[in-house]
Structure 1
Amino acid sequence: MDQRLSFVSVAVRDLDATRAFYLDGLGWTASMDVPGEVLMIQVGELVVLSLWAESGFESEVGPIRRGEGLAPITLAHNVATRAEVDAVLATARAAGADPVHDAVERDWGGYTGYFGDPDGYRWEIAYNPGPIGQVVLP
């Protein structure tokens, strides 16, 4: 098996709200949009974020675990400067992201903050000055 990731697929409660947040709010472009079913957005050269209505997700993958707390996953968007971290968090806030945690200097040398999309999935916006941080920048 090749060492790569092709799709990140997540279930969403309200696909219309998700569409409005990512396309209208963040200004992203859909690669595939099937109302009531799925919204797919190419987020890297060979990577697609696949946002599925819960019913379709469950019919293909199985029951979704529900309850208190956060989904045990974060999505990350790395940028080249600390100023870009703040700018992306401001864009997310303007798009209706809730919550938005302002960026802070991290013990490991980076600068990161978080926002939640309409389903609460946490996006880390990060400046990582180390070698692994450079691997993921365009």
Structure 2
Amino acid sequence: MDQRLSLVTLAVRDLSATRRFYVDGLGWRPEVEAPGVLMLLVGEHIVLSLWDETEFEEEVGPIRRGEGLVPITLAHNLASREEVDAVLQTARRAGADPVSEAVDRVWGGYSGYFGDPDGYRWEIAWAPGELTEKLVPGA
């Protein structure tokens, strides 16, 4: 098996609100739209697939609920600290939960977080050195 990830699929409570956030608010372009599903090409070979909870459960199985946050984060890396701040502002204007401002991190980078309409946490980050070259197109 190749060492790669093709899709990240997340169940969402209100697909219309999720679409407004990602497409209208952040300006992302849908790759596939079908009843109960919104797919966004987020990299050269990777799709973020957002599914209405009912559609998700029909295909994947029952959703488990509980206290606290889902133990997953999604990350969007950029080439500079200034770009990190700008994207966090864009997300907040789109209605994101402003989880945290960007700060210097112990691992050497600079990042902050926002939450999407379903509470999924996005880390907006700049990473020093060669990691940026691997993660940011054209860096």
Percent identity, aligned pairs only? Answer: 70
Structure 2 residue runs of 5 or longer lacking an equivalent are: none
Separation of aligned partners in 1, 2:87 and 2:111: 11
How far did residue 130 of structure 1 move?
3.1
Q: Deviations over 1:35-71 (max 9, x none)?
A: 4x10000000010000000011111111111121111
Structure 1 residue runs of 5 or longer lacking an equivalent are: none
Give the structure 1 partner of residue 12 of structure 2: 12
Q: Superposition RMSD on alpha carbons, in Å?
A: 0.9
Give the structure 1 partner of residue 122 of structure 2: 123
Give the structure 2 partner of residue 59 of structure 1: 58
Separation of aligned partners in 1, 2:66 and 2:98: 18
Separation of aligned partners in 2, 1:30 and 1:100: 25
* Contact kept in structure 2, 1:93 and 1:100, CA below 8 Å: no
How far did residue 132 of structure 1 move?
2.5
Aligned ranges 1:2-41 → 2 under 5 Å: 2-35=2-35, 37-41=36-40
Say which is worse superposed, 47-56 or 97-106, in terms of deviation: 97-106
How far did residue 100 of structure 1 move?
3.4
Normalised TM-score (structure 2): 0.95
How far did residue 122 of structure 1 move?
0.3
In the alignment, residue 60 of structure 2 is paired with which amino acid? V
Q: Which runs of 4+ in 1 moved over 6 A?
A: none
Separation of aligned partners in 2, 1:88 and 1:52: 24
Separation of aligned partners in 1, 2:8 and 2:79: 23
SS at match of 2:9: strand
SS at match of 1:31: strand
Give the structure 2 partner of residue 84 of structure 1: 83
* Contact kept in structure 2, 1:128 and 1:134, CA below 8 Å: no
Say which is worse superposed, 87-96 or 101-110, in terms of deviation: 101-110
Separation of aligned partners in 2, 1:63 and 1:50: 18
Separation of aligned partners in 1, 2:131 and 2:61: 34
Normalised TM-score (structure 1): 0.96
Aligned pair count?
A: 137
Separation of aligned partners in 2, 1:82 and 1:71: 27
Separation of aligned partners in 2, 1:126 and 1:99: 15
